A and B are shown apart, each in its own frame.
Chain A
Amino acid sequence: MKTETSAVDINRNIGDFSYDVTHAYDAGTGLSEKTIHYISDVKQDPDWVREFRLKALKTFLEKPMPTHWASKDLEAIDFDKIRYYLSGGTQAKRTWEEVPEDVKRTFERLGIPEQERKFLAGVEAQFDSEAVYSNIKKAVGEQGVIFVGSAEGLKEHPEIFRKWFGKVIPTGDNKFSALNSAVFSGGSFIYVPPGVKVKHPLQAYFRINAENFGQFERTLIIVDEGAELTYMEGCTAPKFNTATLHSAVVELVAMKDAKIQYITVQNWSANVFNLVTKRGLAHENAEVKWIDCNIGSRLTMKYPGVIMKGRKARGEVLSIALANDGQHQDTGAKMVHAADETTSNIISKSISIGTGRATYRGLVHVPKHLKNCKNNTECDALLINSTSRTDTYPAITVRGTGNAVQHEASVSQVSAEQIFYMQQRGLSKAQAMSLSVNGFVNDLVRQFPMEYSVELKRLIELEMEGSVG
């Protein structure tokens, strides 16, 4: 096992450690109006945010669990045992030197050394529920790009924030978006002014660090006319004995001719419920692209979506899911065509190891009287062990004569001949398997930014350890 930490190495076991962090603010366990008032008081929310939270809480309590189609495992979540707000109570830090020493140490263990800052256009690292550390490279700020925590965004830029907040994903979209709307804290707010092409990807690291504590970050990204942005998030979480809930909401708005690329490499520990709602709104000729890689967690339910609202808008979801023993990756994509000549593409690859279960769940909707809309969906699943499981549940609605939709899925396993060939050349069975799996996802991984694709390959190798033999 590797022990050194380099910029691209995330070692699962290193992520398993947790340092004792003292929290100045703690809303306690359970969820009630009192919890909401506590959060609003601590965060000094404006009145409209407090009202928004209270309304969302009502919606959350009214909404049933989606158990008529989703995994029954959701019922294992005990909402009364979850801590909805924890905070160190410190202001968001601007420079690395101001970050507390023990927090720095946790980042160090995660394999995010200080030097990495050079490669990042800006860093918005979320440590528990508050942005502890945020560093925006000068150049980005000079271009007029706003890159702040969501709490700061709603206070300092209400004129942009309020216009789009909760518009792409309404509070009542699903039970967990309602929950997030009630207790959200942390997350990023980004605004890119017209015509600005952000060269370096903006990046944020998330980490859950307190037992039984759900993290409810809320991200809103608005890219104005003709502008371009790539945003990356990566997550690792320490292993805890009791289940942890992560329920984020991410809203993207791409104005006319804008381009957004949102990249996630997620590696939750095996007790985390990861229930995330992600959706982008693409205006005329805009492009929203989700690159999503799900590794770890007990249950992940995540279906990044794109609403193609303007003519010639494009939506894309590229996703890789890896389900190891006892894990269920229920991921997919949602493509809603709402204008002529819109095109969408979904490519999903999943790998099931041991008793892992990978599910693709998709929705493609092409309503009436649209012309020349196109969708392409491809799902490939790879099964490693005889106890592995994979499912595919797409739902496709097409009306009218002007559109073309195709969906294809296949399930296979690593070919015995390939393994034999590699073993013959001196590779161990596990190495051969790992190589084969990396080959399976390679054409997707290549679309990731370089450091992520290397990291991802290492993560897959780590996950593959012990799956054969």
Chain B
Amino acid sequence: MKPAILDQLMTEAQAILSGPSRRSDFPKWFRDQQHGAWSKFQTMPMPNRKDQPWRFSNVDLLDLSQFKLGAPITDNDRIEILERSRALEQVAGRLVFADDQLLQRDVLSEDLQRKGVVFQPLERAMVEHTDLFRKYFMSEPATLGSAKFAALHHSWVSSGTFVFVPRGVEIEFPIEIFHWLSGENSAVFPHLLLVADELAKVTVIEHFRSQDRQLPGFACGVNDLISGPGAKITYVCAQNWGENVIALQINSTKADHDAAAKSLNLHLGGKYSRFESLSRLIGEGARSDLLAVSVSDGNQEFDARTLQDHVSPHTASDLLYKNALKGRSRNTFGGLIRVEPHAHFTDAYQKVRNLLLDDDAEANSMPGLEILADNVKCSHGATSGQIDADEMFYLRSRGITPAIAQQLIVKGFLNEVIERLEQPAIADYLRGLIDEKFSRAK
């Protein structure tokens, strides 16, 4: 199934700073794009802390010289990874990638296939659904700071998922995608292109994991999420990379008229994890919910940048981010609500809450508003605080140890966001991951 040339290329581990990708099995137009993206990557400057989009961010961690494409996955690793690729009980389909190599594909039910749902690796979509692919693939420029890394992604992307849900089709169970980092210093470039046509409904969950939690690695993902007229998409990201991983994720969501787009990002892993989320409301009646939860400890650094871009009138967006910070960890939030001229009757909200659990933890919040229209309802709030002494006392007086009491309070604090997803099975799974992080800390 795999072309011989691929094996050969894979064996001479290519450094990612020697791009672009040399794969020859992609269509010519795509390879041209990759070359173009590579020159863009080379000409753009590295981010600087003085750039507003990178304010408070530790850009020194973005040294990419050590990272390379992963070696072919051995049979033993393949078996181990597939065994560990379990998350939700009931799924509509599943793809498993390790070091950007496709390991397994559980296809959709025949019923969904018959209805025209497409669920396939990116390289097949390039050939079989060229028009859709070319229309939506990275069509939205990365404006929140990472244009350089979006170009890097474009010049290397080789694996990913294409999901197309035709008009009026509703998929009951989530589609699940696993991206694993396996080899030492491996780099991956995950991509998800999700197109929900008119009145379609779909949920996709992505799991980001490391086979060995100690190995360094680099992930640079881009997602294009398109919610057509009246469609409903839900995107969940469970980021649980290993402790020495540098990760960048650039998501762009587009909601057409009367569409709904909901996203929840859980950040637990990585040494440095930056997440950019652009949400554009391009049709009247569109609604976007941006949710995120993070638990950081040790020297972890999380950095979230968001833009709620209201292009059309009568649109709504609601952002709720909650972060619990332990140890010497740092969290930065930079969010903007932008109401474009003529986007009257906008409802836009933004709320960030940081819970500082240790004396060396640091939270930076930059909630922003840019309102260029009239008749809008916009508000934002940012708070940073600590556990209420009374709550702690109450729990301790009932014989609960301080460590457990703290965990309970943190879980309660984060749960408000997870519940907003309104998907009990996924919520249970996410809570489980948070528990796991707490038990690892012990």
Contacts and interface: CB of A to CB of B under 8 A. Distances in A.
A394 B368 contact: yes
26 contacts: A383-B376, A386-B344, A387-B374, A389-B370, A389-B372, A392-B380, A395-B364, A396-B363, A396-B364, A396-B384, A398-B354, A399-B359, A399-B360, A399-B363, A400-B356, A401-B356, A401-B361, A401-B387, A405-B382, A406-B385, A407-B381, A407-B382, A411-B376, A411-B378, A412-B376, A412-B377
A390 B346 CA distance: 14
Contact of B366 (A366, A368, A394, A398): A394
A58 to B, nearest CB: 21
A80 interface: no
Contacts of B360: 368, 399-400
A407 B375 contact: no
A388 B374 contact: yes
B51 A68 contact: yes
B50 interface: yes
B368 A397 contact: no
A369 B56 CA distance: 19
Closest 6 CB pairs of A and B: A386-B374, A398-B384, A392-B369, A410-B379, A411-B378, A401-B386
A408 B349 CA distance: 11
A391 B370 contact: yes
Contacts of A389: 370-372
B357 interface: yes
B242 to A, nearest CB: 26
B90 interface: no
A413 B369 contact: no
Interface residues of B, number: 41
Nearest to A70: B52
Given A387-B341, A399-B359, A404-B384, A69 B368 contact: no
Contacts of A222: none
B384 A409 contact: no
Among B360, B363, B380, B382, the one with the most A-chain Cβ atoms within 10 Å of its Cβ is: B382
B365 interface: yes
Contacts of A368: 359-360, 362
Interface string A168-197: 000000000000000000000000000000
B368 to A, nearest CB: 5
A274 B367 CA distance: 26
Contacts of B387: 401
Contacts of A366: 384
B347 to A, nearest CB: 11
A135 interface: no
Contacts of B56: 395, 397
B364 A409 contact: no
Interface in B161-195: none
A405 B368 contact: no
Nearest to B373: A386
B369 A395 contact: no
Contacts of B367: 392, 394, 407, 409
B308 to A, nearest CB: 13
A116 B14 CA distance: 80
B382 A413 contact: no
Nearest to A385: B374
Contact of B365 (A381, A395, A412): A395
A389 B342 CA distance: 12
B373 A399 contact: no
B55 interface: yes
Given A366-B384, A383-B374, 17 more contacts: A68-B52, A387-B374, A393-B368, A395-B364, A396-B365, A397-B362, A397-B363, A398-B356, A398-B364, A400-B361, A401-B361, A404-B385, A409-B369, A409-B380, A410-B378, A411-B376, A411-B378
A366 B385 CA distance: 11
Interface of B: 50-52, 55-56, 341-342, 344, 354, 356-387
A68 B363 CA distance: 23
Given A401-B359, A411-B369, A396 B376 contact: no
B275 to A, nearest CB: 19
Among B55, B361, B385, the one with the most A-chain Cβ atoms within 10 Å of its Cβ is: B385
Contacts of A387: 341, 374
Contacts of B380: 392, 407-409
Nearest to B385: A404
Nearest to B48: A68
B369 A390 contact: yes
A397 B374 contact: no
B377 A411 contact: yes
Contact of A396 (B344, B361, B382): B382
A171 to B, nearest CB: 20
Interface of A: 68-69, 366, 368-369, 381, 383, 385-413
B437 to A, nearest CB: 19
Contacts of A369: 359
Contacts of A407: 365, 367, 380-383
Contacts of B354: 398
Nearest to B355: A401
A69 to B, nearest CB: 5
Contacts of A401: 356-359, 361, 386-387
Contacts of B385: 403-406
A399 B362 contact: yes
B379 A411 contact: yes
A393 B358 contact: no
A186 B375 CA distance: 45
Contact of B55 (A395, A405, A411): A395
B379 A409 contact: yes
A394 B365 contact: yes
A78 B56 CA distance: 32
B21 to A, nearest CB: 33
A396 B366 contact: yes
B386 A402 contact: yes
Contact of B362 (A398, A404, A412): A398
Contacts of A394: 365-368, 382
A172 B360 CA distance: 30
B55 to A, nearest CB: 7
Contacts of A390: 369-371
B199 to A, nearest CB: 32
A383 B382 contact: no
Contacts of B342: 386
A191 to B, nearest CB: 38
A450 to B, nearest CB: 33
Contacts of A395: 55-56, 364-366
Contacts of A392: 367-369, 380
Contacts of B377: 411-412
Given A394-B382, A405-B385, A410-B378, A399 B361 contact: yes
Contacts of B362: 368, 397-399
A410 B387 CA distance: 27
A394 B354 CA distance: 15
A401 B371 CA distance: 34
Nearest to B362: A399
A389 B356 CA distance: 35
B132 to A, nearest CB: 37
A389 B378 CA distance: 13
Contacts of B356: 398-401, 403
B52 A69 contact: yes
A383 B359 contact: no
A454 B361 CA distance: 47
Contacts of A396: 363-366, 382, 384
A386 B361 CA distance: 43
B51 to A, nearest CB: 6
Contact of B383 (A397, A405, A409): A405
Contacts of A397: 56, 362-364
Among B344, B375, B384, the one with the most A-chain Cβ atoms within 10 Å of its Cβ is: B384
A404 B344 CA distance: 35
A408 B359 contact: no
A369 B356 CA distance: 12
A388 B56 CA distance: 31
A96 B92 CA distance: 88
